[in-house]
A and B are shown apart, each in its own frame.
Chain A
Amino acid sequence: MEVSYKIKEPFTDKILLVFIYIFLAAVLIVILYPLIYIVSSSFSSPLAVMSGRVWLWPVEPTIKGYTAVLSNPRIWTGYGNSLFYTAAGSFISVSLTIAIAYPLSKKTFYGRGPIMYLLIITMIFSGGLIPFYMTVKQLGLVDTRWALLLPQAIAVWQLFIAKTFFQETIPSELNEAAEIDGCSDIRFLLSMVLPLSKPIIAVLVLMYAVASWNAYFDALIFLRDSALYPLQIILRDILIQNTVDQTMMVDARTMEARQGMKDLLKFSLIVVSSLPVLIIYPFVQKYFVKGVMIGSLKG
């Protein structure tokens, strides 16, 4: 007779598993539904949005919201500015982060301990908002593009991720061999370390880029000139403070149509502004996971 060596799963385990599936399905719906609702609303007619007839799919589909959003010059300026801040900011941030993380990843680097202490102190204590603002002001950065590129250039957490990565993946023997062959430190970094570190550079670029695309606080406190505003500040004006240009309302004659248009605009704007991040998200998701995991290895 055949004997099954498989241990039978107890009945209570099966119940628990069913509960887990129900729980996760509920989580999935709660997270997904608002996202679908926003996209569907953005493609619906103003009146359908206003009267609350949108539940899951677009009602009386139009692209009116999008044409209104895209015909607004402020949004284009904001988009352009944000692209610039994101590109330039990530470049500066990643360069500076590598420039400090690489030397600190070498155990023989003289002064490593004290510098690490200096960094950890900045994680647990800060001067606060006002002294920070006054410093940036004294440096003459207020109301210039530099105000969004420099003051928050290095994130200590990202720095530690990069340092851990260098420490674990660049064997010190490699460095010693290169040193014997007369390779300078800078050259070793550029032609050996960086090509070996493509995954971590991708992680850093993405983390900095997403943070800078989504940031609004620095722009709020440092910028007065509206020509320099990033997209998020313009979003705040329209989405939260409800200031909508009359130019975006050309089609809407009646009071009701106006209100509907205002609401529709918000949904379209949310989609338009989140588009760059959402398009790249499925492709870069694994890098984010990697970044979090390296960060968790060692502080």
Chain B
Amino acid sequence: MAHYSQTAAQTNALDRLVTNKVPRGAFKKIRRHWQLYILISAPLLYFILFKYVPMLGVQIAFKDLNAMDGIWGSPWAGFKHFQTFFEHPNFWNLIRNTLVISLYSLIVGFPAPIILAIALNELKNGVFKRAVQLITYAPYFISTVVMASMIILFLSPRIGLIDHIRTAFGFESINFIAKPSMFSSIFVLSDVWQFMGYGAIIYIAALAGVNTQLYEAAKIDGASRLQKIIHIDLPSILPIMVLLLVLNMGQLLNVGFEKVYLLQNPLNVGTSEIISTYVYKIGLVQANYSFSAAVGLFNSFINLLLVLVANFTARRVTGSGLF
């Protein structure tokens, strides 16, 4: 090896380049890049404070929290709060409402962006295609509060757009938002309206990446447009579909609190009360911390279970999972 006059640091760096040798020992590696560790300390502190400390805080679900003793000092209560929740007359109603809304969302909301992306993929690039793309994902930027108020305005019996259309055709006027049976449809269909375009972006990108030789070969073999969609398009977006499905499964019980809460009213509460709105009302409005934390923990636990099952199934069926 040639010898140059160089500083220790330079020798080190060169050494690493030439022999691909990484300095041994954790301490040495950290000292070498101490500035990066300073840099990462603030965000790490963020994750500890706002993500991991609350995880320790779930212990209040097993305690009888009182203001005097705080989280750590309050006496243990075992599974008392969980038992109260399971025996609560509202328990099955909450579970059913949550599952109905989330499964309905999954069944209707999951394929919608895929269909839109495949349809768009069939068009040649042009004004119409760009207009559809630009306009379909504009609603994504509407805030939940505005979205909820739009829903209420459009569905209201007096000035609502839907009602105008119904009465114009001679149907009777209906106060949709006050009908418990309509709540899940209102929630899911408005979600499709708002997020279909945005959800399609990812699939459009995947479809744009498909090797064009595949289409040419299929064309020569006499494949129809529909056959190309089924045998080329769908398999090429399958990995992303699986990934998003696993992620969605993990959120099954986390139905968007914000929109449900905003659309809730005393008349539809029978079907619109879900676990997260219940946790909010019992916990923060009525300050029943321990019981509410137990309900929340039950929710998190089921979610965790669902994401693990979904991931396992995805791995078994398609050979690729999320982790």
Asked whether B30 lies within 8 Å of A110 as measured between CB atoms, the reply is: yes
Q: Could you mark each residue 246-288 of chain A with 1 if its beta carbon is under 8 Å from any beta carbon of chain B, else 0?
A: 0000000000000000010011001001100110011001001
B149 on the interface (CB 8 Å rule)?
yes
Asked whether B224 lies within 8 Å of A10 as measured between CB atoms, the reply is: yes
Asked whether B39 lies within 8 Å of A99 as measured between CB atoms, the reply is: yes
Asked whether A27 lies within 8 Å of B296 as measured between CB atoms, the reply is: no
Q: Which residues of A contact B47 (CB under 8 A)?
A: 118-119, 122, 154
A30 on the interface (CB 8 Å rule)?
yes
Asked whether A27 lies within 8 Å of B50 as measured between CB atoms, the reply is: no
A109, A151, A240: which has the most chain B beta carbons within 10 Å?
A: A240
Q: Could you mark each residue 111-139 of chain A with 1 if its beta carbon is under 8 Å from any beta carbon of chain B, else 0?
A: 10001001110101111111111111001
Q: Which residues of B contact A293 (CB under 8 A)?
A: 201-202, 205
Stretch at the interface among B86-94, B101-109, B179-187, B279-287: B279-287
- State the CA gap A28–B150 with chains docked (Å): 18
Asked whether A282 lies within 8 Å of B134 as measured between CB atoms, the reply is: yes
A244 on the interface (CB 8 Å rule)?
no
Asked whether B296 lies within 8 Å of A31 as measured between CB atoms, the reply is: no
Cross-interface CB contact of B136 among A28, A109, A131, cutoff 8 Å: A28
Q: Which residue of B lies closest to A214 (CB)?
A: B143
A289 on the interface (CB 8 Å rule)?
yes
Q: Which residues of B contact A122 (CB under 8 A)?
A: 47, 51-52
Q: A216-B144, A221-B280 are in contact. List 13 more A-B contacts (CB 8 A).
A: A12-B226, A27-B132, A34-B154, A50-B159, A52-B159, A115-B44, A127-B53, A131-B57, A221-B284, A274-B146, A277-B142, A288-B137, A299-B243
- State the CA gap A37–B153 with chains docked (Å): 11
- State the CA gap A263–B52 with chains docked (Å): 45
Q: How far is the CB of A11 from chain B (nearest CB, A)?
A: 10
- State the CA gap A44–B26 with chains docked (Å): 69
Asked whether A130 lies within 8 Å of B283 as measured between CB atoms, the reply is: yes
B220 on the interface (CB 8 Å rule)?
yes
List 7 A-B pairs, minimum CB-CB distance, nearest first.
Answer: A131-B57, A128-B296, A127-B54, A214-B143, A239-B149, A100-B43, A110-B29
Interface residues of B in 161-181 (CB under 8 A from A): 161, 163-164
Q: How far is the CB of B139 from chain A (nearest CB, A)?
A: 6
B127 on the interface (CB 8 Å rule)?
no
Q: Which A residues are closer than 8 A to B by beta carbons?
A: 7, 10, 12-13, 16-17, 20-21, 23-24, 27-28, 30-32, 34-35, 37-38, 49-50, 52, 55, 96-97, 99-100, 102-104, 106, 108-111, 115, 118-120, 122, 124-136, 139, 150-154, 176, 179-180, 182, 184-186, 189, 210, 213-217, 221, 232, 235-236, 239-240, 263, 266-267, 270, 273-274, 277-278, 281-282, 285, 288-289, 292-293, 295-296, 299
Cross-interface CB contact of A216 among B30, B143, B299, cutoff 8 Å: B143
Asked whether A131 lies within 8 Å of B293 as measured between CB atoms, the reply is: yes
Q: Could you mark each residue 28-61 of chain B with 1 if its beta carbon is under 8 Å from any beta carbon of chain A, else 0?
A: 0110010111011011101101111111111010
B interface: dominant SS: helix
B22, B149, B220, B293: which has the most chain A beta carbons within 10 Å?
A: B149
Asked whether B131 lies within 8 Å of A28 as measured between CB atoms, the reply is: yes
A129-B283 CB under 8 A given contacts A185-B36, A235-B146? yes
Asked whether B136 lies within 8 Å of A27 as measured between CB atoms, the reply is: yes
A189-B39 CB under 8 A given contacts A7-B220, A127-B54, A270-B149? yes
27 examples of A-B residue contacts, CB within 8 angstroms: A12-B224, A13-B224, A30-B193, A34-B154, A37-B161, A108-B22, A122-B47, A122-B52, A127-B56, A127-B57, A128-B58, A128-B297, A129-B279, A129-B283, A134-B71, A150-B46, A154-B43, A176-B13, A182-B9, A185-B36, A185-B39, A189-B39, A217-B258, A235-B145, A270-B146, A281-B141, A282-B134
Cross-interface CB contact of B49 among A139, A182, A274, A299, cutoff 8 Å: A139
- State the CA gap A234–B46 with chains docked (Å): 29
Q: Which residues of A contact B43 (CB under 8 A)?
A: 96-97, 99-100, 154
Cross-interface CB contact of A31 among B39, B159, B193, B303, cutoff 8 Å: B193
Q: Which residues of A contact B304 (CB under 8 A)?
A: 124-125
